[in-house]
Chains A and B, each alone.
Chain A
């Protein structure tokens, strides 16, 4: 007998199978079923048949349930399935929240972690900015690729030279005779040894040393933006000057400077010095730091011509002139270079006719202006050229710092993530798929890495201030805007975030959730070896840097104090720029006056002091009146005290002496290089030989030969030199001082100065400081290395600190138990530190030979170098160990001192 109610009840029960069918739905469906059955029965069907048909019509529980399910569940995006989520991948907001929460919870470690990476990035960024700046010299001029400097390559008796300077008439000649030359300009520094030019404006008197004579077309070649005045006409007339805005403020303050006058004193090498009014016809922006031609004032070339009419015709005038040309587009540079050799030949011919001596080689060559700073190492460069070697070194260092920072970050992130095995297990249990977890972890590390990058950006701009001070540069964040840099930063971002996320993402998520939650998987079991590698790596790099830095410093100190061939300690240099007649007449009396002060142990006057780029020279001939074939020697005129005061060694004969004969009128000294230049085969042979100098027409005998002393500094070869007692060229006083009380001494000197040279600006310098400027790049490198090494070390220590803290925390229970069992603090600290100390030792062992090898290679470049001794290595190793020990111990002590009851309570 068919039981309708029972059938319906069974049918209802069948609906229960599908969980998606809620009670309400089931009731509604049952209602429908009954209505249908009633209807069919009303049509005459039997109960059984009615039920069957009705049930069939409604459909199965599964398909119904599926439909309801689709409606009821929301996708991971929070939207019903028919509404696709917009652009955020699913669960992104969740990951973001979790990421932030994670950071908040592990604040200390996160801060250390992020700080380390940010610091490393910032250092790297600063170095990169510096490098790109160095490589960008002179690229900002309009059409810079068409601007070249003409330089000279010549071979004489003394050797082969490349000169940056060229004869005066060359510029105009090139424009006249060669259609490829759109424009040629000359830049002429002030004459003679006047590296300083006196500039006066009312009460303001200063010596300026970035003053040049220039042709008015210079603004077509070099990008010199005008703030006031007209570039076309500014330097057309004689006695006009264009100044930078810095100079305008210095001399005129807030007032407008255009049209006002400055009084400038120039010595045109004619023997007399005069001070004249120059009208300010233009104000330009300050010269940027990334150019080899740095200027403060530009004087008009017609000024020179009106004072030295022969300037435009004299092909032999030795005074430094820099000639630049701008070539027409599509000019074949090689062809042009060949064509101008015609002019070179003419030059050489004039020279050989005048001196009856043929030059072995004299040719012009072209240097692209953009390559001057980094590639040109001629004589007479406008400023110290850049150095590829150091750029390479800096790049390597930047890379190393970056490496330390990133390794550190990855290491610590990985370590931190090992505590999250339980979290992973739980997520898996509630249904997270492995893919989702991988994205989660990668997303978190991405977030943290971005944070570090942003902080690094801020740090970089902070670091740039002191760096610019130190290096004399003007770096700014704008330099990072180049596409290459941005792309590599982006790439780095990805690499670091993936690197720091790969362990948790791939390895952690693979664990079986059940066993993890049950605690069967120890958090630190995997990846410990990788961690150890990373710690060793960081420390090895840091120690390497420290050793190198110390070695560089030692070498620098050595070079400075090295036998330059003369004493440069404690030498105070006073330049007499005006009122020279008094000096030249009465220098003995002036010296005596200074020597009254017991702190001044010696005094001498000369035409230049060691380190000056002196160009003065005599043509010497053994046949009076006949200057054909006359060799030219550089000259320093001096007094009797010059040789003893500077401690210059003699190799033959004797120095100037007051009481022996008439040295003033009859004696010369030459140096060892001069011996060969004059054609003698040995110093002894030169003694007693007479020469007439073109300068004063007097014939004197060589009475002594000095050793080659580096009167032009360590980097230049020692050229032939003549020493003469000739007052008319004197302009410098050297005082040997023994400074106990510098202030008092300076006051005394100042007083005496004002007595003897009233109105002349008092400018002094110490000779050893002047020489330090020679080593600008080495000094810079030393300082940079020092700073970077310190920072690199800090980063490594931060990493170690974080890691040690982390490890200690993981072992708190163990420590608690040991304490309870009677271990002392010392025992515990030792136990914790042992592993780390071992790692640091390994770093030392790895770093030392590498450092030794690198430094040895670097030192080969120096003719005079220190010997590397093991002392440096021991100091570094000991230092590194001590710092590492301290770092780890702090953590150890913290852990050891904790109350064991607290740590054990969490069971």
Chain B
């Protein structure tokens, strides 16, 4: 899975508590369909993030009787998100300058 998976998941979960399928949907929505993850692979990543204590999960029963696992950020997950945000922003700055030689307004 790409390294960008982690910040994306953390960001999507920033203020929400949702389940796996919803996360995939969000990605497709936000990227306008350009990003499509292989869906099954999301779940081991979530599992790993949980092990690292960035997110935590909870099984909830829904109206139609299905059990779903809901995820949300932990405190250290919020910190990690901020860290990732800074890192990726600086990467973005450099790349922007490289791709577009004309001065860009940050």
Q: Is the CB of A57 within 8 A of B40?
A: yes
Given contacts A34-B66, A68-B47, contact A28 B20 (CB under 8 A): yes
Of the listed residues A25, A27, A67, the one surrounded by the most CB atoms of chain B closer than 10 A to its CB is A67
Whether, in the assembled complex, B41 has its beta carbon less than 8 Å from a beta carbon of chain A, the answer is yes
B44 interface hit (Cβ, 8 Å): yes
Contact of A35 with B21 at beta-carbon distance under 8 Å, contacts A28-B69, A58-B40 already known: yes
A29 to B42, CA, bound (A): 10
Confirm or deny: A80 has a beta carbon within 8 angstroms of a beta carbon on chain B.
Answer: yes
Task: Give the docked Cα–Cα distance between A36 and B69 (Å).
Answer: 15
B51 A29 Cβ-Cβ under 8 A = no
Task: Give the contact-size bracket for chain B.
Answer: 10 to 19
B68, CB-defined interface residue at 8 Å: yes
Q: A29-B43, A64-B43, A80-B51 are in contact. Are A59 and B38 (CB under 8 A)?
A: yes
| Residue ID in chain B nearest A67 by CB atoms | B44
B46 closest partner in A (C-beta) = A28
- Cα A59 to Cα B69 in complex, Å, equals 19
| Bitwise interface map of A from 612 to 635 toward B, beta carbon under 8 Å scored 1, else 0 | 000000000000000000000000
Answer whether residue B82 sits at the interface, using C-beta atoms and an 8 A cutoff.
no
Q: How far is the CA of A72 from the CA of B43 in the complex (A)?
A: 13
Complex CA–CA separation, A759 to B38 (angstroms): 114
Q: Could you give, for residues 16-60 of chain A, a 1 whenever the CB lies within 8 Å of some chain B CB and a 0 otherwise?
A: 000000001101110110111000000000000000000001110
Interface membership of chain A positions 60-75, coded 1 if the CB is closer than 8 angstroms to chain B and 0 otherwise: 0001100110111000
**How far, in whole Å, are A416 and B43 apart by their CA atoms in the complex?**
52
Contact: B67 with A27, CB < 8 Å?
yes
Q: Is B97 an interface residue (CB 8 A)?
A: no
For B20, what are the chain A residues with a Cβ–Cβ distance below 8 Å? 28, 31-32
Of A32, A68, A71, A72, which one neighbours B39 at CB under 8 angstroms? A32
B83 interface contact, C-beta 8 A = no
Report if A57-B66 is in contact (Cβ < 8 Å); known contacts: A67-B44, A68-B47.
no
For the complex formed, measure the closest distance between the CB of B2 and the CB atoms of chain A, giving whole angstroms. 14
Whether B48 is near chain A, meaning CB under 8 Å from some CB there, is: yes
Q: Looking at B20, B38, B44, B45, which has the most chain A CB atoms within 10 Å of its CB?
A: B44
Name the CB-closest residue of B to A66.
B44
Judge whether A59 and B39 touch: CB under 8 Å.
yes
Partner of A36, one of B39, B41, B66, B67: B39
User: How close is A54's CB to chain B, nearest CB, in angstroms?
Assistant: 8
- Tell me which of A28, A57, A80 contacts B38 (CB under 8 A): A57
Check A28/B43 contact, CB under 8 A, given A36-B21, A57-B38, A59-B38.
Answer: yes
A25 to B68, alpha carbons, bound, how many Å? 11
Please encode chain A, from 515 to 551, with 1 for each CB lying within 8 Å of some chain B CB and 0 for all others.
0000000000000000000000000000000000000
Beyond A71-B44, A80-B51, is A57–B21 a contact (Cβ under 8 Å)? no
A36 contacts across to B, CB distance below 8 A: 21, 39
A71: B residues at CB distance < 8 A: 44, 47-48, 51
Give the chain B neighbours of A27 by CB distance below 8 A: 67
Report yes or no: A64 in contact with B41, Cβ–Cβ below 8 A: yes
Q: Which residues of A contact B39 (CB under 8 A)?
A: 32, 36, 57-59
Identify whether the interface residues of A are mostly helix, strand, loop, or mixed.
helix
CB distance A59 to B44 under 8 Å? no
Q: Which of A25, A32, A68: most chain B Cβ within 10 A?
A: A32
Chain A residues with CB below 8 A from B45, complex form? 67
Q: Provide the main secondary structure of the chain B interface.
A: helix
Which residues of B lie under 8 Å from residue A63 when comparing CB positions?
40-41
Q: How far is the CA of A72 from the CA of B44 in the complex (A)?
A: 10
What is the interface size of chain A, counting residues whose CB is below 8 A from a CB of the partner? Answer: 21
Smallest CB–CB gap between A81 and chain B, Å? 10
Q: How far is the CB of A591 from chain B (nearest CB, A)?
A: 106
A72 to chain B, nearest CB (A): 8
Instruction: Write out the residue numbers on chain B whose beta carbons fall within 8 Å of the beta carbon of A35.
Output: 21
Write the nearest CB–CB distance from A22 to chain B, whole angstroms.
10
Q: CA of A59 to CA of B1 in the docked complex: distance in angstroms?
A: 13
Q: Are A32 and B43 in contact (CB under 8 A)?
A: yes
Contact residues in A for B51 (Cβ distance below 8 Å):
71, 80
| CB-based contact B67/A59 at 8 Å | no
Residue among A27, A35, A68 with the highest chain B CB neighbour number at 10 A: A35
B47 touches A31 (CB 8 A): no
The reply to whether B40 and A59 form a contact with Cβ atoms under 8 Å apart is yes
A674–B20 alpha-carbon span in the complex (Å): 120
Question: What is the bound-complex CA distance between A24 and B59, given in angstroms?
Answer: 10
Interface string of B4-30 (1 = CB under 8 A from A): 000000000000000111000000000
Q: In the complex, are the beta carbons of A25 and B47 less than 8 A apart?
A: yes
Kindly state the separation between the CA atoms of A706 and B43 in the bound complex, as whole angstroms: 115
Q: Which chain A positions have C-beta within 8 A of B43? A: 25, 28-29, 32, 64
Closest chain B CB from A152 CB (angstroms): 87
Which one of A29, A31, A70 contacts B67 once the chains associate, using CB atoms below 8 Å? A31
List of A residues within 8 angstroms of B66 by Cβ = 31, 34
Shortest beta-carbon distance from B56 to chain A in Å:
14
Residues of A within 8 A of B41 (CB): 59, 63-64, 67
- For A31, list chain B residues within 8 Å (CB): 19-21, 66-69
A336 to chain B, nearest CB (A): 75
> Which residues of A, 306-357, contact B by the 8 Å Cβ criterion?
none
Shortest distance in angstroms between A719's beta carbon and chain B's nearest beta carbon?
95
Greatest chain A CB density within 10 A among B21, B38, B40, B47 is at B40
Bound form: Cα–Cα A70–B43 in Å? 13
Give A24 to B39 CA distance when docked, in angstroms.
17
Query: Complex Cα distance A32/B19, Å?
Result: 9
Chain B CB within 10 Å — which of A28, A35, A70 has the most? A28
A49 to B20, CA, bound (A): 22
Q: Provide the bound-state CA to CA distance between A54 and B51, in Å.
A: 27
Interface of chain B residues 31 through 75 with chain A (CB within 8 A): 38-41, 43-45, 47-48, 51, 66-69
Contact (Cβ within 8 A) A64 B68: no
Question: In the bound complex, do residue A32 and residue B21 qualify as a contact, i.e. CB atoms below 8 Å apart?
Answer: yes
Please pick, from A34, A64, A70, A80, the residue contacting B40 in the complex, using a CB distance under 8 A: A64
* Bound CA–CA A59/B44 (angstroms): 12
Set of chain B residues within 8 Å of A72, measured between Cβ atoms: 47
Which residue of the partner chain, among B21, B44, B67, contacts A68 with CB atoms under 8 Å? B44
Whether B44 contacts A29 by the Cβ 8 Å rule is no
Which residues of the other chain, A, contact B67 by a CB distance below 8 angstroms? 27, 31
Chain A residue contacts of B40, Cβ below 8 A: 29, 32, 57-59, 63-64
Question: CA–CA, A31 to B20, complex, Å?
Answer: 9
* Minimum C-beta distance from A24 to chain B (A): 8
Within 8 A of A (CB), among B63-106: 66-69
Inside 8 A of B21's CB, which chain A residues have their CB? 31-32, 35-36
**Shortest beta-carbon distance, B57 to chain A, in Å?**
9
Chain B: minimal CB distance from A74 (Å): 10
Closest chain B residue, CB of each to CB of A35: B21
- What separation, in Å, do the CA atoms of A80 and B47 have in the docked complex? 13
**Chain B, residue nearest A24 (CB):** B69
Among B19, B43, B45, B67, chain A packs the most CB atoms within 10 A around the CB of B43
Contacts of B38 in A (CB 8 A): 57-59
B3 smallest CB distance to A (angstroms): 12
Report the separation of the CA atoms of residues A34 and B38 in the bound assembly, to the nearest whole angstrom. 16
Question: In the assembly, what is the distance between CA of A80 and CA of B48, in Å?
Answer: 10
Closest to B39 in A: A57
Chain A hits for B47, CB < 8 A? 25, 68, 71-72
| Besides A29-B43, A64-B44, 9 new A-B residue pairs in contact (Cβ under 8 A), listed by A number | A24-B69, A25-B43, A28-B68, A36-B39, A59-B40, A67-B41, A68-B44, A70-B44, A71-B51
5 cross-chain CB contacts under 8 A: A28-B43, A28-B68, A64-B40, A64-B41, A71-B47
